[in-house]
């Protein structure tokens, strides 16, 4: 059979590969695809309409929310609830998880979704790339009963699917269901995503390191040593430094070109900044499926047992070789 060319076709073709082929997961992907197009439309015209700036509210982490954060959050939640395909949703922008009840068949759905509706949102003001990150699990509590926090606090290893939308020079959906990573590019003229990046893999060798070096003074000694290693004149070094400040965009570039992303613990924030459940785990799943690796320096991200919805972890992710070198530096200091 010839290669499927659109995301819609691809979802249908792959449906039979899922362990639980009830079509529920396919419907879930279709909802994400729809919400992504709606958010894409809004993100694209952000410079035109009076939508920039803060909405004068703060999220649970005490960070300013941009208006588009809220818009994206609402669109994804509405789409998932209206189509009645998940039993629960957790979001960076919601203090607590949302239990979704269907009218006739309470809690009959099997999947929960966790998301960062708009990642790298400070980039909106300067017309740079932002993204949406999503992570999908099968619930662990019995179908028919109420969804609980246990359905969300699963190890990343249990993810059924994960991915991101990148609203960049082109808009793309990149996702995995545990059988490799595929990328689809939106043709905005007709609103269709086409398979443009089949079976994405990190290149054998990476040459980019991505870190907010302004925080250097606060980094653990192992990270400081690794940065100096990256900058050293030797064989394929010094590496190139690239940092957008949007995990989705930095990861996407590193996946295609080869590189490593670092958001370390700092003396001020010992757990780093990024959120385990809806930032690190989905990206970690994609990285592993693309032949890469991620960890907190010691434990594979996908093996960390979550204890709360919005917890943060130090996050390192990229080419396996680069990751092993970094972990070597970190582990010298215990
Ligand atoms: P969000 O916009 O969802 O709050 O996420 C921003 C995150 C991540 O995408 C990015 O890599 C990181 O914050 C940048 O942080 P610094 O500005 O501290 O480098
Ligand atoms: Mn984010
Ligand atoms: Mn966000």
- 186 in the same domain as 213: no
Q: What is the pLDDT of residue 302?
A: 98
Q: For residue 248, how far is its CA from the centre of ligand 2 (angstroms)?
A: 8
Phi, psi of 307 (to 5 degrees): -120, -20
Q: Is the CB of 132 under 6 A from ligand 1?
A: no
* 43, part of any domain: yes
Closest Cα partner for 315 from 255, 248, 265?
Answer: 265
What is the rounded CA–CA span in Å between residue 171 and residue 166?
5
* 297, part of any domain: yes
Domain extent for 239: 208-331
Q: For residue 222, how far is its CA from the centre of ligand 1 (angstroms)?
A: 22
Q: Which atom of ligand 1 is nearest to the CA of 120?
A: 2
* 203, part of any domain: no
Q: Is the CB of 121 under 6 A from ligand 1?
A: yes
CB atoms < 10 A from the CB of 272, how many? Answer: 20
Give the closest residue (by CA) to ligand 1 atom 14.
Answer: 245
Q: What is the pLDDT of residue 334?
A: 74
What is the best residue among 93, 247, 294, 312 to mutate for testing ligand 1's pocket, by most ligand atoms within 8 Å of CB?
Answer: 247
* 202, part of any domain: no
Would you state the torsion angle of the CA atoms of residues 234, 326, 302, 311, taken in this order, to the nearest 10 degrees?
Answer: -130
Q: What is the pLDDT of residue 309?
A: 98
How many domains in the chain? 2
Q: For residue 266, how far is its CA from the centre of ligand 1 (angstroms)?
A: 15
Domain boundary among 173, 197, 221: 197
Domain boundary among 177, 197, 217: 197
What is the best residue among 114, 164, 245, 266 to mutate for testing ligand 1's pocket, by most ligand atoms within 8 Å of CB?
Answer: 245
* 103, part of any domain: yes
Q: What is the pLDDT of residue 21?
A: 54
Phi, psi of 194 (to 5 degrees): -110, 140
What is the rounded CA–CA span in Å between residue 65 and residue 216?
26
Contacts of 34 (CB under 8 A, 6+ apart): 79
Q: What is the pLDDT of residue 57?
A: 64
Instruction: Give me the CATH number covering residue 326.
Output: 3.40.190.80
- 225 in the same domain as 158: no
Q: For residue 334, how far is its CA from the centre of ligand 1 (angstroms)?
A: 26
Closest Cα partner for 44 from 181, 165, 145?
Answer: 165
- 240 in the same domain as 178: no
Instruction: Give me the CATH number covering residue 24.
Output: 3.30.540.10
Q: Which ligand is nearest to the CA of 278?
A: 2
Q: For residue 262, how far is its CA from the centre of ligand 2 (angstroms)?
A: 14
* 184, part of any domain: yes
- 97 in the same domain as 142: yes
* 278, part of any domain: yes
Q: What is the pLDDT of residue 155?
A: 98
- 134 in the same domain as 253: no
Give the closest residue (by CA) to ligand 1 atom 3.
Answer: 119
Q: What is the pLDDT of residue 101?
A: 78
Q: What is the pLDDT of residue 51?
A: 52
Q: For residue 9, how far is its CA from the centre of ligand 1 (angstroms)?
A: 34
* 1, part of any domain: no
Q: Is the CB of 246 under 6 A from ligand 1?
A: yes
- 241 in the same domain as 186: no
- 241 in the same domain as 103: no
- 118 in the same domain as 184: yes
Q: Is the CB of 312 under 6 A from ligand 1?
A: no
Q: Which atom of ligand 1 is nearest to the CA of 116?
A: 3
Indicate if the alpha-carbon torsion angle 219, 225, 228, 230 is positive or negative.
Answer: negative
- 220 in the same domain as 164: no
- 241 in the same domain as 270: yes
User: Is cis: bond before 238, omega within 30 of 0?
Assistant: yes
Q: For residue 118, how far is its CA from the centre of ligand 2 (angstroms)?
A: 6
Domain boundary among 151, 171, 197: 197
- 108 in the same domain as 38: yes
Q: What is the pTM of this model?
A: 0.94
pLDDT in tens, 29-69: 999 999 999 999 999 887 766 555 556 666 777 666 558 99
Residues of the chain with pLDDT under 70: 1-4, 19-22, 48-58, 62-66, 102-107
3-state secondary structure the chain: CCCCCEHHHHHHHHHHHCCCCCCHHHHHHHHHHHHHHHHHHHHHCCCCCCCCCEEEEECCCCCEEEHHHHHHHHHHHHHHHHCCCCCEEEECCCCCCEECCCCCCCCCCCEEEEEEEEECHHHHHHCCCEEEEEEEEECCCCECECCCHHHCCCCHHHCCEEEEEEECCCEEEEEECCCCEEEEEEECCCCEEEEEECCCCCCCCCCEEECCHHHHHHCCHHHHHHHHHHHCCECCECCEECCCCCHHHHHHHHHHHCEEEEECCCCCCCCCCCEHHHHHHHHHHHHHHCCEEEECCCCEHHHCCCCCCCCECCEEEEEHHHHHHHHHHHHHCC
- 220 in the same domain as 144: no
């Amino acid at each position: 059979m010839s290669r499927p060319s659109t995301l819609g076709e691809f979802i249908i073709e792959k449906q039979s590969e899922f362990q639980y082929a009830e079509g529920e997961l396919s419907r879930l992907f279709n909802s994400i695809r729809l919400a992504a197009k709606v958010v894409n439309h809004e993100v694209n015209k952000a410079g035109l309409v009076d939508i920039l700036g803060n909405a004068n509210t703060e999220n649970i982490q005490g960070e300013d929310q941009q208006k588009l954060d809220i818009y994206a959050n609402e669109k994804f939640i509405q789409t998932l609830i209206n189509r009645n395909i998940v039993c629960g949703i957790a979001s960076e922008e919601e203090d607590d998880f949302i239990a979704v009840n269907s009218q006739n068949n309470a809690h009959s759905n099997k999947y929960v979704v966790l998301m960062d509706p708009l990642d790298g949102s400070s980039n909106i003001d300067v017309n740079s790339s932002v993204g949406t990150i999503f992570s999908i699990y099968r619930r662990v509590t019995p179908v028919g009963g109420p969804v609980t926090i246990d359905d969300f606090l699963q190890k990343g290893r249990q993810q059924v699917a994960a991915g991101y939308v990148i609203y960049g020079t082109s808009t793309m959906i990149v996702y995995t269901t545990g059988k490799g990573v595929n990328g689809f590019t939106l043709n905005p003229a007709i609103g269709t995503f086409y398979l443009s990046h089949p079976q994405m893999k990190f290149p054998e060798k990476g040459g980019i390191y991505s870190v907010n070096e302004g925080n250097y003074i606060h980094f653990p000694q192992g990270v400081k040593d690794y940065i100096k290693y990256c900058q050293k004149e030797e064989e394929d070094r010094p590496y190139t430094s690239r940092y957008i400040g949007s995990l989705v965009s930095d990861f996407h570039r590193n996946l295609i070109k080869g590189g490593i992303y670092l958001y370390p613990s700092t003396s001020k924030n010992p757990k780093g900044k990024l959120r385990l459940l809806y930032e690190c785990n989905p990206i970690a799943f994609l990285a592993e499926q693309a032949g890469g690796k991620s960890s907190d320096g010691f434990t594979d991200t996908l093996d960390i047992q979550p204890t709360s919805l919005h917890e943060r972890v130090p996050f390192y992710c990229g080419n396996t070789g680069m990751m092993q070198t970094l972990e070597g530096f970190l582990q010298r200091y215990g």
